[in-house]
Chain A
């Protein structure tokens, strides 16, 4: 069985879970959200379920129920810890699971992000990835004070940079993100493997012919390089992008390894996969095709009807019916297994499940869903000792600079 024949299951962590009233459910731990043991506990649970990887959600702006505008609600979770640091904090407490924090590509420095993800790869022994996200709001831009952006306020839905807006402005943000990822990737390759030689006879610690400037020049930044951090264990850590709209599919096709997609129904799945493949062709992608993970928000209970009751209860507490950018699954682990089987056949790599409530719905995934998938022979029963790339069927890539002649 090829590594891609089976199911791949990841989970997305954010706050108390993906329902805005999740923190109010029995078993939730809202007072612990900013403690390290909260995160080590969740990642430990995901790892016990042998999940492919966990993502850590993040953004430069405070959460709000209104895109680009602060809200006055006091009944929802507000505040987050930096996702890259959270992933680093849990890395030494885990051994098998992939760690994929969100990093914002707008306003921030690709040089810093590149070495942070490379370092996460060292700390985790080759389990690092990064989910690239743009920042589109004037509110977030104001926190940096370095550029003015159109005020794309939207009082109708939760904050997400991929909503409707000024087309050229958004297209530019995604082009900048592509440059950002390109710089990260070049910096990861800016040290060839084996550049550190420790040659006592000549007194040389490194072979400087194996260190390369990247000389990137783009519209938003120029970066000289090389990195200060040697090439990470995976060579190229995994890059992921969440895509709802054409510019995001295009970004994923240009520079990502993994794309998170949000079909609403079984009928949508094939169309979304076609969109991904069309985007790959449009940008002339070569090499490995994108690994396509379907995002699903999940309410899971063994007892029929219990998940739906929980969902309605949380909607009542929040005062409105929660709508998500992803499809919401409400039911039993058996029913989810059936749904995943049908959707998986249409050419996707796997699923990124967003637990509606933590830790309840994560535990339902790791302790109920995973054994069912294992019983069907479609999910791993151990991690082995591979890297995150290896788990996704991605080889350790050759270094783009390795054949270049002496530099510097």
Chain B
């Protein structure tokens, strides 16, 4: 008897505010109207996807002190859109990034518990922590968090939120008119947390939600990020989309679980992935090249070059050669509101010069070459095969697909690739349960603290 075949998990990422999203395509719709979010979520649910994912950014990106205007700019509030999507879908998981730096655990725990009730058990939280004072300028506390403390903050934030979610017993609400007891015991939700980041006490206001707590995602790739995921997350949103890198990452992260008393099934590894589909392999390659050219306009190519050169290159011709002068490594970074892309600019510049020389590439052609290609390119059958192969080879448990066009960028994948995965028996033909934990094959959430039996708040 053969071993049971490993099941693929699929999710969709609403196209983000970066150059992966092609807004210049005639098919590109609104990035802010709710109808776009509803279309993508309904498509994902029609295809039986695990979840819909919405990223967050809390300050508009700037370059050279001016708002970056070449990519999609502007997005809605994460919680509000996810709650509304719960009205237009029935089973699809609803995942969002929420920052743990510019929020407080009481409020975030309250919002996620509410979202989990309002979606009947479909909420997920991608826990991120930023430290930049630039984003902090939009918030009460400003840039208060040293970079070194960001995982300490995230860890304690999440632990505190879990204490709040666990503060109501499962059976706390009796709601029995005959006995006159709404509550089984007085003082529900009583909590007290004293730590370096948070010193809070009181009564949590939301009864325990259908999943107990939202599914927890983590997205950092550093050693600390991986450790945080191994200790606390249900899924990890990774960036390794080649087979070998994916397998190394997969083995590394799954190998860390045992020290927290967890099994490999308790943490799903879901890399972000892009795709280009065609009627033939040649057609798909052409589509892929066309999309890449749309994603990297001449202006965007110059901008990418500025990230590494760290100086104003707006006079350069994107169809001309790389500059013959070196990056400025002494000046402060010219980009704000996103992570810097290059850790060693001089080394990167030297590698790029060699590549451009060898292949005779212009600035724009080079940027198309060195920035990410689509993860999966081919006919629907080829793409289904690639996805399945990655999962069976333990390079991933599934993928978070990032369409390049809003809102119809997932339509063809849903209609043509998903049925092939279903035929192979590696992707669900229908949902087996109502909650996101069911879709991800996760056991019911364990309580971080024993159920409280009430107690007078101090």
Q: Which residues of A approach B to under 8 Å, CB–CB?
A: 23-25, 28, 30-31, 33-36, 39-40, 59-62, 70-82, 84-86, 88-93, 107-109, 111-112, 115-116, 118-120, 122-123, 139-140, 142-146, 191, 196, 198, 200, 202-208, 211, 220-226, 228-230, 317, 408
Contacts and interface: CB of A to CB of B under 8 A. Distances in A.
A182 to B, nearest CB: 15
Interface centre among A70, A85, A317 (most CB of B within 10 A): A85
B80 A123 contact: yes
A81 B24 CA distance: 40
B114 A119 contact: no
A92 B24 contact: no
Task: Please provide the 4 A-B residue pairs with the shortest distance between their CB atoms, ordered closest to farther.
Answer: A143-B202, A30-B175, A88-B83, A224-B137
Interface of B: 23-24, 32-34, 38, 57-60, 65-67, 69-77, 79-81, 83-84, 86-88, 102-104, 106-107, 110-111, 114-115, 117-120, 137-140, 142, 168, 173, 175, 177, 180-190, 198-207, 297-300, 456-457
B373 to A, nearest CB: 21
Contacts of B456: 70, 72
Nearest to B99: A112
B130 to A, nearest CB: 14
Given A61-B205, A88-B79, A144-B104, 20 more contacts: A23-B182, A34-B207, A70-B203, A76-B182, A78-B188, A81-B206, A82-B79, A85-B115, A89-B87, A92-B84, A92-B88, A107-B104, A108-B107, A145-B104, A200-B24, A205-B70, A205-B71, A206-B67, A206-B73, A224-B138
Contact of A229 (B71, B76, B107, B184): B76
A40 B88 CA distance: 12
B109 to A, nearest CB: 10
Contacts of A229: 32, 74-77
A73 B106 CA distance: 23
Nearest to B454: A72
B87 A93 contact: yes
Contact of B117 (A35, A92, A224): A35
Contacts of B81: 88, 119, 123
Given A74-B181, A92-B38, A123-B84, A60 B205 contact: yes
23 contacts: A61-B203, A62-B203, A62-B205, A70-B456, A74-B181, A81-B117, A82-B114, A85-B114, A88-B81, A89-B87, A92-B34, A92-B88, A109-B139, A111-B102, A115-B77, A119-B80, A119-B81, A120-B80, A139-B203, A145-B201, A205-B73, A230-B32, A408-B65
Contact of A91 (B69, B87, B182, B199): B87
Contacts of B142: 222
A30 B34 contact: no
B87 A206 contact: no
Contact of B77 (A33, A119, A207): A119
A46 B86 CA distance: 21
B138 A24 contact: no
Q: Could you tell me the dominant secondary structure of chain B's interface residues?
A: loop
A91 B86 CA distance: 11
A348 B219 CA distance: 53
A374 B127 CA distance: 51
Contacts of A226: 60, 67
B198 A208 contact: no
Contacts of B115: 85
A208 B103 contact: no
B104 A74 contact: no
B89 to A, nearest CB: 10
B32 A122 contact: yes
A24 B180 contact: yes
B84 A230 contact: no
Contacts of B104: 107, 144-146
B177 A24 contact: yes
Nearest to B199: A145
B171 to A, nearest CB: 12
Contacts of A112: 77, 102-103
Nearest to B205: A62
Contacts of B107: 60, 107-108, 144
B50 to A, nearest CB: 21
Contact of B69 (A25, A206, A223, A228): A206
Given A36-B87, A224-B137, A85 B79 contact: yes
A89 B200 contact: no
Contacts of B457: 70, 139
Contact of B103 (A109, A206, A211, A228): A109
A90 B138 contact: no
B52 to A, nearest CB: 14
Q: Which of A70, A115, A191, A229 has the most CB of B within 10 A?
A: A70
Contacts of B203: 61-62, 70, 139, 143
B60 A211 contact: yes
A30 B69 CA distance: 51
Contacts of A144: 104, 106-107, 200
A205 B77 contact: no
A143 B187 contact: no
A243 B120 CA distance: 36
> Counting chain A CB atoms within 10 Å of each CB, which of B24, B104, B203, B297 scores highest?
B203
